[in-house]
Chain A
Amino acid sequence: MTEIGLPRSTTSRAVTLIVALVVLVIAAALWGISVGAVAIPVDVIVNTLFNLDGEQQTYIIIKSRLPRMVLALLAGGALALSGAIIQAVIRNPLASPNIIGINSGAALFALGMVLVFPAIPVAWMPLAACIGGLLAASFVMLVAHYRNLSAVHLALIGVAVGFVFQAGVDYLLITSSDSESSAPMIWLTGSLWGRTWGHVAISWIPLLALSAVALLLSYRLDLIALGEGTATGLGLNVPRQRLILLFVATMLASVAVAVVGVMGFIGLMAPHIARRLVGGSHRLMLPVSALVGMLLVVLADSIGRAIAPPIEISAGILAALIGAPFFVYIMLTTASET
């Protein structure tokens, strides 16, 4: 620990910040459980959560809002971690899961499955999305790895591949008159509507495991951040580490996108907000990113349910709507570090 230790004041400030963020995330999640199309008093929520005597609302609390909250936490954290890793590896502040084609790859496969192969049950959509995201990102990563391309070239190839998949998405959207069947459209904006414990069951193990791996690998990001030459000089096999890190980031984002849909904002902005809060050291920045991502998605989902019940506004839309002004505020009020 001591070899890359941080100044004590930075660490204690960061610990305070992390504790504050954890409290905020928990508060937001509890608030999220209490809002929605049906108003439920706090005592009923407590009765239901702890199975006490008195009135309970089992379905709404336990089967509707709770799995959504769990998914929002898992996916928000995963998307933010993925974004932070990709920004560090590609060494580009504009990078996000989107830049290596994950979002458009996932979107094309999900839409394609529903519109081109309507016979396949919609329940398979998350799997199709995951495969699409992995396929697009794997192509980018493998090409960059085997041709030994620099981070900038990797990003450019990622953008190009993303455009190809996005063209496919646009083609499907324009040629389809199916604005009526909603599943793919709602999914494209990133939403937790209709998510159940079934979605949690298929995604919590990979998301938690990958998040743990991401946090364990954070010190390697600090080395890569020094620049390819320096990192190699310090004994790091940069191309190999880059491939491993990008693979972890891709898996995180693909699984998250598969269960909650496309939420482009989280992966791009949460790491920036985190960097502004605790600086560039990834050992702190990664967990803070994850917490910021969780907070954003939980708030976005809760506000989306509270704002105009019984109609829900997609969390992806609200995440951008509330996150962007906050991001600008943070950019303007903190000292420039990057």
Chain B
Amino acid sequence: MSIKSLVAALAGAMLLIAPALAVEITHDLGTTEVPDAPQRIVVLEYSFVDTLAAVGVSPVGIADDEKRDSIVPIYTNIIGDDWTSVGTRKSPSLEVIASLQPDLIIADTSRHEAIYGALSEIAPTISFDSLTGTYEVAIEAARTIAHAIGKDAEMEARLAEHTATMEGFKAQIGDVTGWSAQFIVDNGEGIFLHSPVSYNGSLLAWFGFTSNMPSPDGHTYEEAIVNTSLEQLSEIDPQIIIRGKYTDPGLTDSWVGQPLYDSVAAVKSGNVYDVNAHEWSRLRGVLASEVSGANLVDIVKQLKQ
């Protein structure tokens, strides 16, 4: 703790010595000059809330889909609840963003590419692939964002802690290379498989689980989050299903008793585990992955051969 505060104090002292230095940030949609240590930050995806929380910075505006509790306690414990909602992540309100007079906007590449120009007119905007990016991409984006807001030291300290936490989970989980695991979202009308190139797919791979899903070459939303039928699920035949249900009962519950569903390896062996759909499918980043890691430790404890 004392080392951390010392580092923070050092970083703060450095800021005082060299004030008003803009940083050039290279991101998915170009290179943007970000003014020194921006104070009023608007974020348009949850994973950027995660990043700011990781370094103890509160955004002034969040595209929270008009649901304040979508910003879960692991974040609000750090950033408080003073933010202004700027609308949905899909189509945030440019006017509300502008009215907050931000000095930095953090956007999602696949969601906001079309309005990047409009956002840049409001404030310097940096954009990262959150929606279709992997765990590694999320961590790298966190590093870049921390650099943009002058919090490199805080982020490096938090990432060191993060690595230790994740390695600890990995050690508890043990060798799972013999297990194929699949994260699925069930929204009551359809199921969506998160493929190996998705955030959750890459996170499971990081812990050593294998995937029976083919890994696509490209990296589009359809390749990351695959809308799937029961037939396709039974063909992929994972040994562990990690399920996030947005409705209860979900579509998969209505399949119970159908021979095709009951014969899926995970269903047959009783290895279908429910996790929080919001936390798993929408939240990505340093803090979110630690929640997922803790979930996985619990799941592995319950595994039935």
Residues on A facing B (Cβ under 8 Å): 36-38, 57, 59-60, 63-65, 115, 118, 121-123, 125, 176-178, 180-183, 186, 193-196, 198, 305, 309-312
Task: List B contacts of A176 (CB < 8 A).
Answer: 222
Known interface pairs A36-B95, A305-B95; 20 further A-B residue pairs with C-beta atoms within 8 A, sorted by A's residue number: A37-B95, A57-B99, A60-B95, A65-B95, A125-B114, A177-B221, A177-B222, A178-B220, A178-B222, A180-B110, A181-B111, A183-B113, A183-B114, A193-B115, A194-B94, A195-B118, A310-B85, A310-B93, A311-B66, A312-B93
* Inter-chain contact B121/A180, CB cutoff 8 Å: no
* Inter-chain contact A310/B86, CB cutoff 8 Å: yes
Task: List B contacts of A198 (CB < 8 A).
Answer: 117
Task: List A contacts of B131 (CB < 8 A).
Answer: 180-181
B252 at interface, CB cutoff 8 A: no
Task: List B contacts of A186 (CB < 8 A).
Answer: 90-91
A151 to B88, CA, bound (A): 46
* Inter-chain contact A312/B91, CB cutoff 8 Å: yes
B227 at interface, CB cutoff 8 A: yes
Q: Name, among B85, B95, B110, B111, the residue most crowded by chain A CB atoms within 10 Å (CB to CB).
A: B95
Residues on B facing A (Cβ under 8 Å): 66, 85-88, 90-96, 98-99, 110-111, 113-115, 117-118, 121-122, 131, 192, 218, 220-222, 225-227
**10 pairs, CB–CB < 8 Å, chain A vs chain B:** A37-B95, A60-B99, A177-B227, A180-B111, A181-B111, A186-B91, A193-B115, A194-B118, A198-B117, A310-B86
Determine how close the nearest CB of chain B comes to the CB of A144; give it in whole angstroms.
36
DSSP class of A's interface residues: helix, strand, loop or mixed? Answer: loop
Task: List B contacts of A178 (CB < 8 A).
Answer: 220-222
**Assuming A118-B220, A196-B117, A196-B121, is B91 touching A181 (CB within 8 A)?**
no
A70 to B115, CA, bound (A): 18
* Inter-chain contact A60/B221, CB cutoff 8 Å: no
Nearest first, the 9 closest Cβ-Cβ pairs linking A and B are A310-B93, A177-B227, A194-B115, A310-B87, A182-B90, A183-B114, A122-B114, A59-B98, A38-B99
A121 to B117, CA, bound (A): 12
* Inter-chain contact A309/B91, CB cutoff 8 Å: no
Cβ-Cβ contact count across A and B, 8 Å cutoff = 94
Task: List A contacts of B98 (CB < 8 A).
Answer: 38, 59-60, 63-64
**Assuming A60-B98, A176-B222, A177-B227, is B114 touching A311 (CB within 8 A)?**
no
**Assuming A37-B87, A310-B86, is B66 touching A64 (CB within 8 A)?**
no
CB-nearest residue of chain B to A116 = B220
Task: List B contacts of A195 (CB < 8 A).
Answer: 118
Task: List A contacts of B96 (CB < 8 A).
Answer: 37-38, 309-310
Task: List A contacts of B95 (CB < 8 A).
Answer: 36-38, 60, 64-65, 305, 310
CB-nearest residue of chain A to B225 = A177
CB-nearest residue of chain B to A65 = B95
A121 to B95, CA, bound (A): 24
* Inter-chain contact A59/B122, CB cutoff 8 Å: yes
CB-nearest residue of chain A to B87 = A310
Determine how close the nearest CB of chain A comes to the CB of B44; give it in whole angstroms.
12
From B93, B122, B227, A37 is in contact (CB under 8 Å) with: B93
A69 to B74, CA, bound (A): 42
Determine how close the nearest CB of chain B comes to the CB of A67; give it in whole angstroms.
9
* Inter-chain contact A123/B66, CB cutoff 8 Å: no
* Inter-chain contact A64/B94, CB cutoff 8 Å: yes
CB-nearest residue of chain B to A63 = B121
From A60, A65, A177, B192 is in contact (CB under 8 Å) with: A177
Determine how close the nearest CB of chain A comes to the CB of B15; give it in whole angstroms.
28
Determine how close the nearest CB of chain A comes to the CB of B114; give it in whole angstroms.
4
CB-nearest residue of chain A to B228 = A177
CB-nearest residue of chain B to A191 = B91
* Inter-chain contact A180/B91, CB cutoff 8 Å: no
A230 to B192, CA, bound (A): 62
